[in-house]
Structure 1
Amino acid sequence: MANFQINEQNQRGGVHPLKFSLWLIIISIIMMFAAFTSAYIVRREEGNWLEFDLPNILLINTIIIVLSSVTMQLAHNAARKDNLQMLKLMLLLTAGLGAAFLVGQLNGWSTLVNNNVFFGGTGSNPSGSFLYVLTGVHGFHLITGLIFVLIVFFSSLRYKVHSKNMLRIHLCTVYWHFLGGLWLYLYIFLRINH
């Protein structure tokens, strides 16, 4: 039975295939959101654009995701120092903050519905649909990030994340910081262009 371990040190030269794959995923997500935000600007200039207040929860969610980036970095630092208790605690805090962010997004959508801002269909306006798409697609990627955080957490319970085996936590940290940065971009974009 082969003993499969994801270990940076096993790679001799070049970029680890998982790192390369992660960067391809990140680049494709950047391109997708660049297309969404470009389409938003173009469609807004065409007229028939409903102006409405963004839900206040979006600011709270921005604070939550920044805090989750801090806890993720603390988890990474703890793994580097072989502080496994702190690693587990910070991963759980990151997952909890990520879940709180998703609950906040659902709350924001509820606020939109209560203000008669809907996604698609009769009586909807493209401005509302764009907001649902931007926040929904980001939310989907955050769910994938949460799954990644939980995989790393369960790996840490089996002592597979530590200073000599940092690849899992490193990839997870990069992806989580990317999701936080992407949200900051979306929030600022919506504030400026809404």
Structure 2
Amino acid sequence: MENIQQVNIDKEPKAPLAMDPIKFILWLFLVSIIMLFASQTSAYLVRRAEGNWLEFEMPVIFWYSTVVLIASSVAMHWAYLSAKKDQFKQLKLAISITFVLGLVFLWMQFEGWKQLVAMNVYFVGNPSGSFFYVFTGLHGFHIITGLIVLITALTAAFRLNVHSKNLRRIQICTTYWHFLDILWLYLFVFLLTFN
């Protein structure tokens, strides 16, 4: 009888591994975005190898927009560090700077499209131009979703719902924004290399 009780004590259930469900959804979303762009860049390489490919120089504004997006990522990291230290004024300022730089990035991408049109590179026509518009357009769409996430984080910051004991929202926002920055750097280098 004593042996049975001993066995039961030794086999207590282990606590399951727990993950924040919102963070889990975010990571699933990021993986789906990676798969989307991996399939698109693979299709780009396959189509490029078939020939009938117009080569064109990427407008310089895309270089500048890359610098703007990197600066926005730095500001986002500043926001995260400010939240960890309960520096609410800096937190609000840093998220606001990130948001404004995100808008500037989108405007610069649109200006880049206008410069492509001036170079006779259109969405319809040669596949190289089509792919360029699709890549930058899809990334721009995800930047818009990132701006929406930034607005929710900024609203929460003004309500003092983001602080050292409640970092989930700013962690999600920071992760997503840094991901968008890394994704753009990947696309930028890819397009420079294979255009």
User: Aligned to 2:18, which of 14, 17, 20?
Assistant: 14
Residue number in structure 2 paired with 1:156:
157
Q: CA RMSD in A?
A: 0.9
Aligned positions, number: 180
Identity %: 52
1:93 maps onto 2:97 in alignment: yes
Alpha-carbon distance in 1 for matches of 2:45, 2:68: 27
Q: CA deviation at 1:50?
A: 0.5
Deviation string, structure 1 residues 32-77 (Cα, Å, up to 9, x no partner): 0000100001000000001111111111011111111000000000
Alpha-carbon distance in 1 for matches of 2:41, 2:142: 17
Where do 5+ consecutive residues of structure 1 fail to align?
A: 1-11
User: Aligned to 1:84, which of 60, 84, 88?
Assistant: 88
What letter corresponds to residue 162 of structure 1 in structure 2?
A: H
Residue number in structure 2 paired with 1:191:
192
Q: Larger radius of gyration, structure 1 or 2?
A: 2
TM-score by length of 1: 0.91
2:182 is paired with a residue of what secondary structure? helix
TM-score by length of 2: 0.91
Q: CA deviation at 1:13?
A: 5.4
Alpha-carbon distance in 1 for matches of 2:29, 2:180: 12
Q: CA deviation at 1:95?
A: 0.2
Bigger RCO (CA 8 Å, 6+ sep): 1
Q: Which moved more, 1:174-183 or 1:54-63?
A: 54-63
Alpha-carbon distance in 2 for matches of 1:73, 1:148: 15
Alpha-carbon distance in 1 for matches of 2:160, 2:85: 14
Where do 5+ consecutive residues of structure 2 fail to align?
A: 1-15
Moved over 2 A (4+): none
